[in-house]
């Protein structure tokens, strides 16, 4: 259905945002549901985030998905927030209601959805997270909710890493960026929550020989699907998981929140996205 002047409008914002596949996911579901709706990308710089988001809300937009670098700012902007969003300190979903802007975090569920096929015994997991932004906050919170207690955080800005630990996991070990290879020793769940490896950017290069085969490497990036982080991890015998399933998992509650419509049951969305990317 071609959107009309009465279309429900929602979108995704980040800076940059051209890499986002959220519009592709939402377009498939909108078409399958046969609803009059439009989902668009909005590249918004940090200095204009508040004013543009408030403007979209005032113009009748239903809401926004939020990605780098705005997830923490999204929570601060909202009048109300879900308990998970407040616990994480970041939001990836803003819905615009007559009562104001509401923040939520569906990255938590999306991340666990992506890890599910790996059959990880979370109580025995020794996790290492690279990054300390909004995505890292959601993933750390998610790991704690499923029983992971041994977590280390490695970030270029050690102050931000310390702040993340203080807010969510005071017992987490803080690793200086220059010691990232040493930090791999004994870890069996390694997570890239940085933008390193995003299309056009330098990848995260690690000494994967320090990690035993069979461990799990997860990269929140999905453009490209095969980042340097995952290619190198896979070559060392690790289970490598890209960010596509996290994208799909977090998008489902967003679609329902924006369009008040259940997500259509489609054939494998992952296959559709890989075809869109020209991977398969």
Centroid of chain to Cα 165: 19
What distance in Å separates the CA atoms of residue 179 and residue 240, rounded to the nearest whole number? 22
Cβ burial, residue 50 (10 Å; 0-12/13-18/19+): middle
Query: Are 21 and 247 spatial neighbours (Cβ–Cβ below 8 Å)?
Result: yes
3-state secondary structure of 279: coil
DSSP annotation of 208: G
Instruction: Report the b/e string of 125-142 with b at 16+ CB within 10 A.
Output: bbbbbbbbbbbbbbbbbb
Peptide bond into 266 cis (omega under 30): no
Query: Are 47 and 75 spatial neighbours (Cβ–Cβ below 8 Å)?
Result: no
| Residues ≥6 apart with Cβ < 8 Å to 24 | 272, 273, 276
What distance in Å separates the CA atoms of residue 39 and residue 11, rounded to the nearest whole number? 5
In the set 71, 123, 124, 275, the catalytic residue is 71
Has 71 been annotated as catalytic? yes
Task: List strand residue ranges (DSSP E) for 194-271, in order.
Answer: 216-219, 239-241
Count of CB atoms situated within 10 Å of the CB of 246: 27
Active centre residues (catalytic): 71
């Amino acid at each position: 259905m071609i959107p009309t002047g009465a279309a429900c409008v929602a979108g995704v914002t980040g800076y940059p945002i051209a890499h986002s596949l959220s519009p592709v996911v939402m377009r498939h579901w909108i078409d399958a549901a046969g609803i009059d709706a439009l989902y668009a990308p909005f590249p918004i710089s940090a200095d204009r985030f508040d004013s543009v988001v408030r403007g979209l809300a005032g113009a009748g937009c239903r809401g926004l998905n939020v990605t780098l670098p705005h997830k923490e700012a999204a929570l601060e902007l909202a009048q109300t927030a879900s308990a998970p969003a407040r616990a994480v300190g970041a939001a990836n979903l803003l819905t615009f209601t007559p009562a104001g802007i509401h923040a939520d975090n569906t990255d938590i569920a999306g991340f666990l959805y992506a890890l599910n096929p790996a059959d990880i015994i979370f109580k025995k997991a020794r996790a290492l997270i690279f990054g300390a932004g909004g995505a890292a906050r959601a993933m750390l919170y998610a790991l704690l909710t499923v029983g992971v207690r041994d977590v280390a955080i490695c970030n270029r800005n050690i102050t931000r890493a310390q702040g993340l630990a203080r807010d969510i996991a005071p017992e987490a070990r803080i690793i200086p960026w220059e010691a990232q290879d040493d930090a791999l020793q004994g870890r069996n769940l390694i997570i890239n929550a940085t933008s390193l490896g995003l299309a056009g950017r330098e990848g995260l290069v690690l000494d994967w020989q320090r990690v035993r085969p069979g461990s799990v490497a997860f990269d929140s990036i999905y453009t490209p699907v095969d980042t340097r982080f995952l290619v190198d991890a896979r070559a060392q015998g690790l289970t490598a998981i890209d960010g596509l399933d996290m994208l799909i998992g977090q998008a489902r509650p967003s679609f329902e929140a924006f369009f008040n419509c259940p997500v259509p049951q489609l054939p494998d969305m992952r296959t559709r996205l890989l075809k869109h990317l020209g991977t398969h």
